[in-house]
Every structure is written in structure tokens, then in C-alpha cells.
């Protein structure tokens, strides 16, 4: 448990005026009120923006407490942590703004979750603050949005079902995005541009980002070559063309870390990859090659200064994102196929009822924070965890009953 059991609040939303922070605050207010079963507050650096958010959220939000803290001010962040058991951070790009809060949470024993997808930053945080988090009891859980809860919990769910049905886990699992509808946020784009910028300046980082075990403990490695979709490929299981899935770079690493933290319960030679389905026939094939080309052009242009400014002018700015209507009309359907060592197979799916990046992410992030606050046993000690390794079944219940996700078995054979 977190050390701060006498805290005033169960959780604090830090960065509440960010695009996803506002959606998250509205979700918590609508579903949990202000000071009922959940005691919570909003936090950020601008008093005027936080007050404007309360006005936007309506009369129920006027009782919502406000905490002022800048992402770079450790003294203010320490004061914030003294008041809460859990911090949910939406302040990205995390590689630019996220470290001081992780440091303070690790030192003070305050539980923490976020929605980062920046694998290079996660590795740095683990290296720098794992010992402090273990000593203080802080449970730190990155990647609690669309990257990587549907992937991480989707694999965990599949493996639970495989164990029940076959008496053994699947040694190979593939995730395929069947459909995902929703707008893109400026915050996500800013994080992607920052990753490209860091990679462009560091060949060593490029090599590290190619390592699927980059955030695993050093003793967790597989001798098997990990699959990786880098160009257009045809998938016979789903009878569809595939293209690389941009979030696969973080999701695969989170899934492997979960396996490591769960004692290699998926198998020591477990293999995993992700891709997006683009359809059948010539159209599907051309779409797949189009995605390959677009991703390559984006990351190449973002990596070098002369063309980066062009990209930044064309894409959404931080604070911009899909409209409320786009969020409500968005959804996603992702499929998993797993194979056991002796050839048995299982196909499962995970669906979400809002756009993946924001409408659904805000609900997943909120329930992950509440799971940290209320559901974990003392067996989950301090340290850097993943959603599946720390929150597992309790989070699955919350996602299905509260957050609009569904986890289903489609086929076993």
C-alpha cells in the first residue's frame, strides 16, 4: 500500500486542464461525484484555467478542490503528494515534463499512473527510481490509456482463458486492430514528434527502441526471435492485409514486461506482435503499403530539424483533439489469436465504446487510478508495474462494468 494513508484525497488529476485531463475530470465527476465514494481534486499550474474548467464542468464541479503545482516544481509536487494517495498524470510529453512528479511519488510513497507511450522515458524512470519506489511503497503504473491497457489486459485475459481451457498458456500471441475510429490529439502527436527527435539525435536510442525487452528486468530475455510487422503482410488467420501498428512499439514492450513481472507466466519463450488490419484484396494491400509509407514519412520528417517545423504546422497542436461528437461516435475492435506449445488455439477480442485515444483512454485511466486507490492488496509492493501485472482482474472488472470495454472469447480449438 501507499504510505500516505491519512491523505485528504483518494486521487488527484494532475494536468486536469489538458485535453484528456478535461475529459477525465468530467468522467470522474459524472460517475463518482466530488466527495462521495471517491474524494478527489484537480491540479495544474494555472489557477485561472483550473477555475475555467470547473465552470465548464457545471454546478456540481464548484465543490471540486484545486491544487496548484507546476510540473517542474518539486516542492509544490511534494505538497500535492502529501495530500493524496494516488496521482493520475496527464502532463505530456512525459519525456519533457514527467520526471519530477515520478521522482516525488517514488520518494513519498504516492501511487501513480499515467497515459505515456514513451518507452525510452519509461526505461529511464525505472532505472532512476525503482529503488526509491520499492523502499517507499509507491506503485507506479505507466501506460494506462489506449496504449497499453487494451493490449496488456487483452493478452492477460487471453492467457487466463487459455489456462482455464487448455491448462497451459499460449506461447505465441498476435494482436490485430480490426477497426479503430477516432480523432488524433495534439498531445499524442507532440509525444510522437519528440520520440522521433530523440531517435534522430541518438543512434543508441534507435537501437534500444528496436529491443522488445527494453523495459523488462535485465534477466528476462527470450531466445526466440520476436516477430515484427515492418511492411505490408498478409495474415491468413484473419484473411486480411496487415500494416505496422504505430502503438505496437510501446504495447509489445509493456506486454513483455507484464510477462516478466508475472513470473514468465506466459512462458519464457513467449512471442508477441501487433499490426493493423487494412482489408482484403488489392484495396487492402494498397492501404497497407500506404500506411507503411505515411508512417515512414512522418518519422523521417519529424526526426530532422529542417522538416520538423512543416510537420508541426500540419498536425494538431497540444490541447487540440477530437470533438465531443467524434469521441462519442468513435470505437475500436481488436483481435488476439494465441497458440499453445502443442498447437491449440484461441481467438479473443477487446472492444471499446469511445474513440480509442481520448474518450476511451480517459475512462481507462480513471479506472486504473481508482483501482490503485481502492482495489490492490498489500501483496502488490512498491515499484514500477504494468496494468496487467499490478491491476489484473480487479481492473478487468472495472473496465467492463464502468469503462465501456468488453473482453470476449470468440473461438477455441
Going by pLDDT thresholds of 50, 70 and 90, the confidence category of residue 36 is confident
Domain-wise residue ranges, the chain: 9-146+360-401, 149-356+404-412
Q: What is the pLDDT of residue 1?
A: 42
What does the pLDDT read at residue 105?
Answer: 98
Q: State the DSSP code for 69.
A: -
Query: Cα separation of 332 and 348, whole Å?
Result: 14
C-alpha span between 371 and 231 (Å, rounded) = 38
Cβ-proximal residues to 11 (8 Å cutoff; 6+ apart), any chain? 38, 40, 84, 85, 86, 87, 88, 369, 370, 372, 373
- Identify the CA nearest to 327 among candidates 358, 303, 292, 302: 358
Q: What is the 3-state secondary structure (H, E, C) of 207-257?
A: HHHCCCCCCCCCCCCCCCCCCCCCCCEEECCCCEEEEECCCHHHHHHHHHH
Top CATH class of 9-146+360-401 equals alpha beta
70-74, 178-182, 319-323: least confidently modelled range = 319-323
Q: What DSSP assignment string belongs to 89-151?
A: E---SHHHHTHHHHHHHHHHT-EEEE----HHHHHHHHHHHHHHHHHHT-EEE---BTTBHHH
What tens digit of pLDDT does each residue of 82-91 get? 999 999 999 9
- 317 compared with 79, residue with greater pLDDT: 79
Pairwise CA distance, residues 155 & 343, whole Å: 18
Average pLDDT over the chain, rounded to an integer: 90
CA distance 361 to 320: 15
Amino acid at each position: 500500500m501507499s504510505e500516505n494513508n491519512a491523505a485528504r484525497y483518494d486521487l488527484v488529476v494532475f494536468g486536469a486542464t489538458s485535453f484528456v485531463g478535461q475529459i477525465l475530470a468530467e468522467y470522474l465527476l459524472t460517475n463518482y461525484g466530488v466527495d462521495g465514494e471517491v474524494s478527489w481534486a484537480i491540479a495544474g499550474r494555472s489557477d485561472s484555467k483550473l477555475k475555467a474548467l470547473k465552470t465548464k464542468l457545471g454546478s456540481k464541479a464548484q465543490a471540486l478542490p484545486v491544487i496548484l503545482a507546476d510540473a517542474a516544481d518539486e516542492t509544490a509536487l511534494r505538497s500535492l503528494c502529501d495530500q493524496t494517495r494516488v496521482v493520475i498524470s496527464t502532463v505530456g510529453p512525459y519525456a519533457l515534463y514527467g520526471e519530477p512528479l515520478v521522482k516525488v511519488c517514488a520518494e513519498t510513497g504516492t501511487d501513480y499512473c499515467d497515459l505515456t507511450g514513451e518507452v525510452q522515458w519509461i526505461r529511464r524512470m525505472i532505472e532512476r527510481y525503482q529503488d526509491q519506489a520499492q523502499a517507499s511503497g509507491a506503485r507506479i503504473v505507466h501506460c494506462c490509456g489506449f496504449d497499453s491497457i487494451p493490449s496488456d489486459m487483452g493478452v492477460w485475459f487471453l492467457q487466463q482463458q487459455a489456462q482455464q481451457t487448455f491448462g497451459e498458456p499460449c506461447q505465441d500471441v498476435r494482436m490485430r486492430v480490426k477497426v479503430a475510429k477516432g480523432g488524433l490529439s495534439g498531445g499524442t502527436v507532440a509525444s510522437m514528434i519528440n520520440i522521433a527527435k530523440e531517435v534522430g539525435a541518438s543512434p543508441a536510442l534507435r537501437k534500444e527502441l528496436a529491443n522488445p525487452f527494453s523495459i523488462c528486468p535485465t534477466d528476462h530475455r527470450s531466445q526466440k526471435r520476436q516477430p515484427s510487422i515492418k511492411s505490408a503482410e498478409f495474415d491468413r488467420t484473419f484473411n486480411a492485409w496487415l500494416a505496422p501498428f504505430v502503438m505496437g512499439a510501446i504495447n509489445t514492450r509493456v506486454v513483455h514486461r507484464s510477462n516478466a513481472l508475472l513470473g514468465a507466466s506466459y512462458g519464457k519463450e513467449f512471442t508477441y506482435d501487433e499490426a493493423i488490419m487494412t482489408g482484403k484484396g488489392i484495396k487492402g494491400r494498397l492501404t497497407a503499403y500506404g500506411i507503411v509509407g505515411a508512417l515512414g514519412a512522418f518519422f523521417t520528417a519529424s526526426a530532422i530539424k529542417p522538416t520538423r517545423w512543416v510537420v508541426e504546422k500540419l498536425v494538431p497542436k497540444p490541447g487540440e483533439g477530437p470533438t465531443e461528437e467524434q469521441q462519442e461516435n468513435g470505437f475500436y475492435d481488436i483481435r488476439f489469436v494465441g497458440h499453445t506449445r502443442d498447437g491449440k488455439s484461441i481467438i479473443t477480442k477487446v472492444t471499446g465504446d469511445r474513440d480509442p485515444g481520448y474518450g476511451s483512454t480517459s475512462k481507462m485511466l480513471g479506472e486504473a487510478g481508482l483501482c490503485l486507490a481502492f482495489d490492490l492488496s498489500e501483496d502488490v509492493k512498491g515499484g514500477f508495474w504494468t496494468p496487467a501485472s499490478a491491476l489484473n482482474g480487479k481492473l478487468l472488472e472495472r473496465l467492463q462494468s464502468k469503462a465501456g470495454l468488453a473482453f470476449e472469447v470468440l473461438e477455441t480449438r
